[in-house]
Chains A and B, each alone.
Chain A
């Protein structure tokens, strides 16, 4: 009996940047590893970099424009007769629904973060309600989807983000000395600096630094990530008199990112809008303690406080940071790393993909 074919409609995957592309790569890669599909045909809206998909994955070059994308999706659905249509973004659900209907395929819809928290248009809602399986990155995103979708709760499952093996504890001094941060207590945030959204909480940390310094914490704060909010944040650090303690690294290559995680004494991201918060996992996997707010998907990444600290929105952030920096009983970096991997590592992710696909009972 031959294995089924999957058609994946995604914003970006192999060759893309950002959390959603990463998630799609992880998901499609896990399917490839599991060998449960004969072929996975991926159509992306964009692919800025050269493409190296894994075995059994074919990523077609991105069509120009929405209409070309839609036509190609429907054409592929007719030609390849996939048993499963995977829709990687809520914006593509209506197209994916039609494609699945055309060839009698099962429909999987992926929900990430903010895009899935608000009720979508009626048509998109209908498409989601028609899905055989809705995958959500976190319990919170799942609860928000269930708020607006009249769909059997058993059809809405959580498939959390996963962290790559390359994020692990290791040498940390080189970057520290390069940045001139010896002997300082280093805070780190990794995330986009978006002038419109501003939910990551950079401001809150910058505002907390003066109080920490006044309590003899020799703080430095590294901000990794690109975006149009950087100028405003830099101005804020000057106004707070902490500019000298700041290191804006901008977008960095992977090795620098890993080094930054290892260098940090504490990863802090008091974000109010995480669908999941992959950066928490990456920090923890590098053995760095993490702090976030008990809001949204961050609760999942921090495992309700069992992997990292969850502060309440009303808490004084400086006090929580001070407390964490002076906690002597923190687990070693190795223990922290292996406990995050037990929940969110590659093996756990692959197993979960296998389990949720098993629920579809797809005919070959």
Chain B
């Protein structure tokens, strides 16, 4: 887990990149890799690569990066983990490869040398990397199918740049800060910036599950190599009976957890009182982790109330023989950390505060790696969206397909029921949007709806942003090919949007700010492949029950029951009151709206106006 960056002056008119810029970008990612750093330059100095290292696998200096192949032709800079690297290594060794290190990094070099760009199909893990080919004079970039690890690129027409963070690219001083309307509008719609956009026109995310080649002619269009919808559709074609559900989840999760424990340092655990992290702890124990250090956040507000997660988490920890570490967080600490949180927040996000504190606690404990239950709700139909989205689609779909009716109803409601409009602004859009899966999902996840944007930002910016973002089209693309079940569609939508752009980004910046690698065994392509054939059967409740039963010592039923009712986290209310924007006693949706305005205003480099075009 690290920070990577690079500059390639591909155009013959371009000046040679400056060492100062490469280092400035790299050092802006110091927190991502406090244990070491390196740079590499091609002989003609037109390509430079940088790396900041957090040592987790092969702690020796031999495994430092950028790493050059034995013959000097290939150079890699890599962020992430390849969980099947030992298997790949054994396979390559059997075919005659020799290795200088025991790192997963070296595997990338050897695989690329042998298989070229198709090598990505062999990787299991979370990754973002760049490989320079000194003979072909080209860069090869790749990012994992779920987009767990970030990778941002910038092309000004002469020179191509990439880095793990948007702010790091800006720190180099050569990338334009001109605003990207689609990114700004996307943040207001969703509370996070949807890839491939960022707040800046010239900075783009390499989309999840894509590769990209940059040669002397410039960057080629990113090419997809993995699709969650395709995996789900494939699974649906080989539908498995209900009798296999529990077993598929058990085998899939156990296998994934085992893979995610690969490390040369201790692997800890983020334990809430939910089913996901509890079951993972049980599976970790099954995988031979006898004394896991499990961290739970506790909030003073809730001490000795039914909303406190700590007692239940403590029981789960005790049940699985883990060492339980409770970290109490107060509003005072929240206020004190807020400036640092905004500093670490790479792109504006309305979430991630909890992750910030649990990662901080992990760092205090001396951990570098921890597992998290992130992704369980997306994979196993844990969200209410798995109920709402299909229901809205079914109920309002026929009406919504009458042209213009949705628009009419929205305007009529706005006039006739202004109280409703003020309290539940999204309700106005229900008939307009619920006609398609994409629209119903937008309705479910939207912080604001498109028709509200011109009230909160420059109307020209809103219009142009929507035109470039095309949110409904974007959603529709992620359920193509059709996953062939309601659960599958919502799973694909939640995984490719909310989880990718919000949860995983937050896990990255908030974890990395403390030098903590957060591993997410429930966000794993192998696991998805195993569960895809039973995806239609994963009705809300069934999936989580299967997960709870996955450990050889299943989660006790009273814990499952209690966990299902949910717990309170005060950070949203803290955020609202700290900004003075809200009382904290409003509906969650409105609190988030206030918070989002504060976040984008605090995003120190956020452009608020688009230049006249």
Report A's interface with B, CB cutoff 8 A: 118-119, 136, 138-139, 142-144, 146-148, 150, 152-158, 160, 300, 303-304, 306, 342-344, 348, 351-352, 355-356, 358-359
Contact = CB atoms under 8 A, between A and B. Distances in A.
B339 interface: no
Nearest to A157: B218
Interface in B466-482: 467-468
Contacts of A344: 13
Contact of A154 (B15, B201, B221): B221
Contact of B217 (A136, A148, A303, A355): A355
B611 A356 contact: no
Nearest to A156: B157
A305 B202 CA distance: 22
A144 B610 CA distance: 12
A147 B158 contact: no
12 contacts: A142-B157, A147-B201, A153-B219, A154-B221, A156-B157, A157-B217, A157-B218, A158-B11, A303-B13, A352-B12, A356-B217, A359-B218
Interface string B149-160: 000000111100
A152 B158 CA distance: 16
Nearest to A355: B217
Given A157-B157, A359-B217, A146 B201 contact: yes
Given A153-B204, A154-B219, 18 more contacts: A142-B157, A143-B156, A143-B176, A144-B613, A148-B613, A153-B202, A153-B219, A154-B222, A155-B221, A157-B157, A300-B158, A304-B15, A343-B13, A344-B13, A352-B12, A355-B216, A355-B217, A359-B217
A160 B219 CA distance: 17
A118 B467 CA distance: 17
A306 B218 CA distance: 22
Contacts of B15: 303-304, 306
Contacts of B156: 139, 142-143
Given A154-B221, A157-B157, A158-B158, A147 B216 contact: no
A136 B157 contact: yes
A12 to B, nearest CB: 25
Interface string B169-203: 00000001010001000000000000000000110
Q: Which 3 A-B pairs have the closest CB atoms?
A: A158-B157, A355-B217, A139-B157
Most chain B beta carbons < 10 A, residue from A144, A146, A351: A146
A287 to B, nearest CB: 19
Contacts of A148: 613
Contacts of B467: 150
Contacts of A352: 11-13
Contacts of A146: 201-202
Contacts of B100: none
B332 interface: no
B220 interface: yes
Prevailing SS type, chain A contact patch: helix
A51 B1 CA distance: 63
Contacts of A355: 216-218
B468 A147 contact: no
B108 to A, nearest CB: 24
Q: How large is the interface on B (under 10, 10 to 19, 20 to 34, 35 or more residues)?
A: 20 to 34
Nearest to B467: A150
Contact of A348 (B13, B178, B222, B613): B13
A136 B217 CA distance: 14
B221 A152 contact: yes
Interface in B592-607: none
A249 B468 CA distance: 49
B562 to A, nearest CB: 49
A146 B182 CA distance: 12
B505 to A, nearest CB: 21
A304 B613 CA distance: 24
Contacts of B13: 158, 160, 300, 303, 343-344, 348, 352
A138 B156 CA distance: 10
B611 A358 contact: no
Nearest to B212: A154
Most chain A beta carbons < 10 A, residue from B15, B182, B217, B220: B217
Nearest to B156: A139
Nearest to B217: A355
B12 A351 contact: yes
A143 B178 contact: yes
Contacts of B11: 158, 352
A147 B217 contact: no
Contact of A150 (B157, B222, B468): B468
Most chain B beta carbons < 10 A, residue from A152, A153, A154, A303: A153
Contacts of A142: 156-157
A304 B16 CA distance: 11
A147 B607 CA distance: 14
Contacts of B221: 152, 154-155
Contacts of B217: 157, 355-356, 358-359
A175 B155 CA distance: 44
Contacts of A136: 157
Nearest to B174: A304
A139 B158 contact: yes
A156 B217 CA distance: 12
Contacts of B468: 150
Nearest to B157: A158
Nearest to A354: B217
Contacts of A158: 11, 13, 157-158
A262 to B, nearest CB: 24
A358 B217 CA distance: 8
A159 to B, nearest CB: 9
A351 B219 CA distance: 16
A26 to B, nearest CB: 14
B281 to A, nearest CB: 44
A231 to B, nearest CB: 33
B356 to A, nearest CB: 32
Contacts of B222: 154
B157 A147 contact: no
Interface string B212-248: 0000111111100000000000000000000000000
Nearest to A119: B613
A343 B12 CA distance: 6
Contacts of B216: 355
Contacts of A138: 157
Contact of B12 (A118, A155, A348): A348
Nearest to A150: B468
A155 B217 CA distance: 11
A355 B11 CA distance: 10
A146 B201 CA distance: 8
Contacts of A306: 15
Contacts of B157: 136, 138-139, 142-143, 156-158
A359 B214 CA distance: 12
Contacts of A143: 156-157, 176, 178, 201-202
A144 B216 CA distance: 23
A71 B217 CA distance: 35
B52 to A, nearest CB: 27
A20 B216 CA distance: 26
B139 to A, nearest CB: 13
A352 B222 CA distance: 21
B177 to A, nearest CB: 11
